[in-house]
């Protein structure tokens, strides 16, 4: 172990990345039911729009948004000489993704509570 | 310093391991007196001299140029010889000293750094100069010399290498120290094989294995920037051909005009 | 190097595609069904965008997974086999995904 902000960013990037690969497989399977016709598609899609899955969707949003902004951070580090500001960049990426997750998560949460 | 010269006491927790006796590493605590001038290395010497002669650690020059005494203090890799003890106290008035992480421990604070040196050898850290050397010196511009400055003050202490999580996962990774050396040689206008060097570092365990964790920058006791060097190498690898062509062009003007500068009166 | 470039360029493409995807697919109300999707997907341009999106996602996911796995020293040895496996998985997933996207036709 060697903890630092860099390690935390790397760990989160790995974690969200691996999670998103598994999500992609699930996503392909769910949407792939369209091959079997609209009825099957709607049935399977309804199965993944229960409150539990809506909560998981917020986690998914968090993962996507963090992975995206961490990626933008790495692009900035690659194309500009900004390693001096590495800690601020990580905090900025983390803060932006947290804000966007909350902003996007509240409507999902409200929709979920409505459906209960 | 108000407490300069005044003795104070501190607990040093040292992660110890004796391969002949111990099954695994364990902490041992030592009480040490210190002043504002005491470095961590001084404290370790004090323990070795007065409390436990079997305490094993590497050190040599004691002024941050030999690169022997890099250790993990309170979770960060530093040179213990240049770090005052008073700056490293944690909230419980203790200092925790471990050997460099991710490397095999030989005894106490001494680690096996063979992998570190093997990767260093692998990038051929020496200059491959043009066949004809000038009488006096190569003509480099101040900008070219400035570009090398990032790398040339490296003391090979291993603090960056053993703070790197990529190294922790894969010992085949070249490592920040060797990539910094490779960067230095690639950027050197005198070097004749920048293309081959870029090929070496662009493999699957080279610069593209770096995950931009920045631990190497944080750990470097000389304030060097291996991450920036790796990013630069990544850019150069992607435009290898143009870079090699520019180098060949540059080397035509590297030698001073012999007839005018060389002393003709020798014969 | 090629893997790095694939990952970088697909990442930049994904930044664009994912923003579009988030805006056009996930807006209130959050309930999704076939009829809502097919409304948009009836246009060939959206099909083309989604196929390009699928391609970028697969490239990014598979290069990412490949990098995660080859980071480990024991797996790094078998990276050639792993690369071929990733290519096969990618081709299959791309075929399956494209068929799915084309399946979004308004019922005749």
CATH T-level topology, domain A5-115: 3 helical TM bundles of succinate and fumarate reductases (1.20.1300)
Instruction: Supply B101's token pair.
Output: 């992480």
Largest CA distance in chain B: 75
Q: Please check whether the domain covering C2-27+37-102 is classified as CATH 1.20.1300.
A: yes
pLDDT tens across C58-92, in order?
A: 999 999 999 999 999 888 889 899 999 999 999 99
Assign domain B114-251 to its CATH superfamily: Alpha-helical ferredoxin (1.10.1060.10)
CA distance C28 to chain A (A): 8
pTM of the model: 0.89
- Residue A32 scores a pLDDT above 60: yes
Q: What's the mean pLDDT in C26-53?
A: 82
Domain regions of chain B by residue span? 8-111, 114-251
Mutation to test the C interface, candidates B164, B170, B236, most C Cβ within 10 Å: B170
Parallel, antiparallel or unpaired: strands B94-98 and B70-73: antiparallel
Please report the pLDDT score of residue A53 as a whole number: 87
Instruction: Supply C7's token pair.
Output: 């990952």
Phi, psi of B231 (to 5 degrees): -65, -40
The verdict on a CB contact (< 8 Å) between C15 and A72 is yes
- Residue C42 scores a pLDDT above 90: no
Beta bridge partners of B72: B77, B98
* Position with higher pLDDT, A115 vs B62: B62
3-state SS class at B233? helix
Instruction: Supply B234's token pair.
Output: 């990544």
Which distant-in-sequence residues (6+ apart) come within 8 Å of B16 by Cβ?
B22, B25, B26, B27, B28, B55, B108
Domain regions of chain A by residue span? 5-115
Domain regions of chain C by residue span? 2-27+37-102
Rg, Å, chain A Cα set: 18
Q: Which residues of chain B have pLDDT under 50?
A: 1-2, 259-267
B–C CB contacts, 8 A cutoff, strictly below: 25
pLDDT tens across B93-106, in order?
A: 999 999 999 999 99
Task: Name every chain C residue with its beta carbon within 8 A of the beta carbon of B208.
Answer: 1, 3-4
Q: Whats the size of chain A, residue-wise?
A: 116
Nearest to B85 by CA among B75, B98, B96: B96
* Mean pLDDT over each residue of chain C, to the nearest integer: 89
Which distant-in-sequence residues (6+ apart) come within 8 Å of B15 by Cβ?
B25, B26, B27, B96, B97, B98, B99, B108, B109
Please report the pLDDT score of residue B259 as a whole number: 47
Chains touching chain B at 3 or more Cβ pairs under 8 angstroms? A, C
Provide the 8-state DSSP code for A80. Answer: S
CATH number given to B8-111: 3.10.20.30
């Amino acid at each position: 172990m060697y903890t630092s902000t860099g390690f935390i960013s790397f760990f989160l990037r790995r974690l969200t990345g691996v999670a998103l690969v598994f999500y992609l497989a699930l996503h392909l399977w769910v949407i792939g039911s369209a091959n079997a016709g609209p009825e099957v598609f709607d049935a399977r899609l309804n199965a993944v729009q229960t409150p539990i899955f809506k909560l998981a969707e917020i986690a998914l949003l968090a993962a996507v948004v963090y992975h995206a902004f961490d990626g933008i951070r790495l692009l900035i580090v690659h194309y500009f000489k900004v390693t001096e500001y590495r800690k601020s960049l990580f905090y900025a990426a983390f803060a932006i993704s947290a804000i966007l997750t909350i902003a996007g998560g509240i409507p999902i949460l409200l929709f979920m509570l409505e459906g209960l | 310093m108000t407490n300069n010269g005044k003795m104070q006491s501190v607990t040093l927790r040292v992660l110890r391991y004796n391969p002949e006796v111990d099954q695994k590493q364990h902490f041992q605590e030592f009480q040490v007196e210190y002043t504002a001038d005491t470095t961590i290395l001084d404290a370790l010497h004090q323990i070795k001299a007065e409390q436990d002669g079997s305490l094993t650690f590497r050190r040599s020059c004691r002024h941050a140029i030999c690169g022997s005494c890099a250790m993990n203090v309170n979770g960060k890799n530093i040179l213990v010889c240049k770090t005052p003890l008073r700056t490293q106290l944690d909230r419980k008035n203790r200092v925790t000293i471990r050997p460099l992480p991710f490397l095999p421990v030989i005894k106490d604070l001494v680690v096996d750094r063979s992998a570190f040196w093997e990767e260093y050898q692998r990038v051929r850290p020496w200059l491959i100069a043009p066949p004809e050397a000038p009488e006096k010196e190569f003509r480099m511009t101040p900008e070219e010399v400035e570009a090398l400055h990032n790398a040339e003050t490296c003391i090979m202490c291993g603090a960056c290498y053993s703070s790197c999580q990529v190294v922790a996962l894969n010992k085949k990774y070249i490592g920040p120290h060797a990539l910094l050396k490779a960067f230095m040689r690639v950027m050197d206008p005198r070097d004749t094989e920048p293309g081959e060097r870029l090929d070496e570092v662009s493999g699957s365990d080279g610069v593209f294995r770096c995950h931009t964790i920045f631990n190497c920058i944080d750990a470097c006791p000389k304030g060097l920037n291996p991450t920036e060097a790796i990013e630069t190498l990544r850019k150069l690898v992607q435009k290898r051909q143009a870079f090699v062509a520019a180098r060949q062009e540059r080397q035509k003007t590297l030698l001073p005009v012999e007839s005018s500068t060389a002393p003709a009166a020798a014969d | 190097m090629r893997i790095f470039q694939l990952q970088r360029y697909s990442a930049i493409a994904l930044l664009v595609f994912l923003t579009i995807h988030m805006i056009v697919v996930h807006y209130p109300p959050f309930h999704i069904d076939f009829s809502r999707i097919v409304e948009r997907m009836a246009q060939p341009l959206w099909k083309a965008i989604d196929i390009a999106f699928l391609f970028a996602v697969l490239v990014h996911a598979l290069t990412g997974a490949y990098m995660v796995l080859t980071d480990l020293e024991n797996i790094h040895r078998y990276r050639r086999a792993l690369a071929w496996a990733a290519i096969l998985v990618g081709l299959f997933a791309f075929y399956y995904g494209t068929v799915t996207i084309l399946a979004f036709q308004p019922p005749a």
